Amino acid sequence: MMGEKIGKRYGFFALVLLCLFIIEGIIILNVFSFSGIRSSLITQVKEKNLAEAARASSALEGYIQQVRDELMTLTKLPPQAGLSIEKCRKEVSSVHQKISGITDALLLANGNGDIIACSSPSLSYFEGLNIKNKDYFSIPSETNETHTSFVNFGQKGIVIISAPLSENAFYGNSGAGQRGVLMSVIDINKLFNEFFHPIVAQESIFLWVDPSTNETILQSPGTSFSKEVRQLYLPLERVFSTTVSLKNIGQAAVTSSDHYIGSQKWRLLIFTPLKSIGRELVAVQQRNLFSLGFVSIIIIALSYFLISIYKTKEDVQHQLEKVNITLEKLGIKVDVEEERFSQADIALEPGRLYLIEESDENHAHEIFLSTLNRGFAGLGLIREDPAAFRARYNLEKTPLIWMTRHPRKGCICESRLEPLQAIIAEFINNSQKAAVLIDRLDYLSAMYPVEVLVRWLSEMKDLAATGQAVVICSVNPDALDEKKLKNLAAVTSDPLGAFTASNIHLDEMEKKILDSINSFNIQNRLISFKDITGILNVTKPTTRAKLAKLAAKGLIRIEKTGRTKSIKITSAGRRLIRSR
């Protein structure tokens, strides 16, 4: 049944639809999975920043302690050669060589607080200053202990570690019994670059502050922080890691780390924008969302298509039931002829509707028989007595319908388009491979307007495509005007279209040979090589060469009967003669 074949296609597309639903489900799971993975990445970034900031803070505190210890050692030693006020005007490598460890920038103040010596031209801005009232001079002088201070010189931030000179030291004592102060100067940018810069990612920004005074020590270039951020994160006494929403940054992971430089507590805040975390995952997520949308569109389109197919299936079934004609009632059986017929010279492609224009050559019959010879079950709609047709072509199992308006007992007779369509549809449905012959469309054209006949042929074309059947129609071109013939040709294919005089070139001798073979065959007479040689008065080698050429072009067929070779013209050869 037609409905069953459509049902198979329906089942195939339903399976495809099910697979698409599964794919869509996998994509949705991936979308949620990537969301979870991104949350995990954010957590990992916060934990990583927290741990690395804690390690960097500890290393910074160790560095400051080491500088302080070295400074205390230097205060107990005699003055170093090259440490003088004049040396601030040029580099003195000898000073760095004689000062061991990591301390490389020194200032010396006498008991009155005057800077009297330095170790590097980079400290020349201290030259001539009196620092008696500065805490980094007064506190170590009064307490006799080291002191650490953060000092801003314009836009330059420095850390000064100062230590009082011992009584045995000879660093510039004033002679009044007042001891001076030895200071190590550290550029704040050097501290940041050495300890914190490696842990601040390229996309992150930082804020380095004194939480007790809210004073900014250092921050990312071109970045400003609102009072709200300072009030929220600077007063806290504990190290923390959280997610916040900032005006200029958006959603960000913020990590805090506290450390001490001397007795002063400093705080580093690292802000990492969430948009920079898992950027590749976000790109994958976007591709997943695009794929989800694409698959959803396909599912919607395929669902609509399946509904259309199901509706078509119901319409076809309803149409067949409405016509109320079955093969069983007509006594038509689908079967394949066992006996072989003439050798096929043209193989038609299944799933197509063919139209053959002919007067009386019976090309359509020959091609129909050739298709049966390939194992197709045949159904013939013919314009002659089925008994004569069956006897002429030795058909036993192929059902034949006589297209006539005068029913005859013992024959299946029908000429109405709707019942013929129902018979053909059911026959194709019940066949594995079906070949249908519709003989003499000019007869039906005389009964129906050409527009109706063209629509009917379009239905036949759809039936052939759906059931992968071969439908062969013939028409007498002399019985139709040119316009009607073009209308019929527009919905059909011509299997012999390539075999025309404009496509195949023959010389005059080859044309005469082809005409002679056709004349003999029309009279149902066999023609041999000897006959051709005698008729054209040519040599045997010439005959063999010309016949071989015609056979190679598919215009004739050479058959051996006993010791004699007979020649038969093919459908293509007859079409070529007719087109000249």
pLDDT digits (tens, 9 = 90+) for 109-143: 888 888 888 877 778 788 778 888 888 898 888 88
- Can you give the pLDDT at residue 282? 57
- Can you give the pLDDT at residue 449? 92
- Given a cut of 70, the residues of the chain with pLDDT beneath it are 1-14, 17, 24, 27, 29-38, 77-101, 154, 166-178, 201-203, 222-241, 246, 248-249, 276-289, 292, 295, 306, 309-326, 339-345, 360-361, 496-502, 561, 579-580
Helix residue spans in 219-338 (DSSP H)? 227-233, 279-323, 327-330
Chain centroid, CA 521 distance in Å: 61
- Can you give the pLDDT at residue 322? 47
- Reference 206, options 53, 55, 48, 40; nearest CA is 53
Q: Is 312 exposed, middle or buried (0-12, 13-18, 19+ CB in 10 A)?
A: middle
Calculate ∠ Cα 361-362-368, nearest 5°. 150
pTM (predicted TM-score) = 0.42
256 and 9 Cβ atoms separated by less than 8 Å: no
Q: Is 181 exposed, middle or buried (0-12, 13-18, 19+ CB in 10 A)?
A: buried
| 3-class secondary structure, 335 | coil
The secondary structure element, H or E, covering residue 569 is strand 564-569
- Can you give the pLDDT at residue 118? 81
Chain centroid, CA 313 distance in Å: 34
- Cβ neighbours, 10 Å, residue 475: 25
CA distance linking residue 145 with residue 166, whole number of Å: 11
111 and 178 Cβ atoms separated by less than 8 Å: yes
Which CATH number, 3.40.50.1000, 1.10.3720.10, 3.40.50.300, 3.30.1950.10, labels domain 325-495?
Answer: 3.40.50.300
CA distance linking residue 184 with residue 160, whole number of Å: 6
pLDDT digits (tens, 9 = 90+) for 140-170: 888 888 888 888 876 788 888 998 886 655 4
Structure tokens at 357: 């224009």
241-246 and 250-261 strand pairing? antiparallel
- Can you give the pLDDT at residue 456? 94
| 3-class secondary structure, 47 | helix
Spell out a b/e string for 73-97, using b for 16 or more CB atoms within 10 Å of the CB, else e: ebbeeebbebbbbebbeeebeebbe
554 and 498 Cβ atoms separated by less than 8 Å: no
Half-sphere exposure of residue 229, counting CA atoms within 13 Å on the CB side?
A: 24
Q: Is 399 exposed, middle or buried (0-12, 13-18, 19+ CB in 10 A)?
A: buried
Strand partners, 325: none
Calculate ∠ Cα 143-148-151, nearest 5°. 120
CA distance linking residue 182 with residue 152, whole number of Å: 19
Which CATH number, 3.60.15.10, 3.30.450.20, 3.30.700.30, 3.90.1150.10, labels domain 76-193?
Answer: 3.30.450.20
| 3-class secondary structure, 116 | strand
CA distance linking residue 503 with residue 509, whole number of Å: 18
CA distance linking residue 566 with residue 61, whole number of Å: 112
Domain regions of the chain by residue span: 76-193, 194-276, 325-495, 500-580
Task: Note the CATH architecture for domain 500-580.
Answer: Orthogonal Bundle (1.10)
Helix axes 279-323, 417-429, angle to 10 degrees: 120
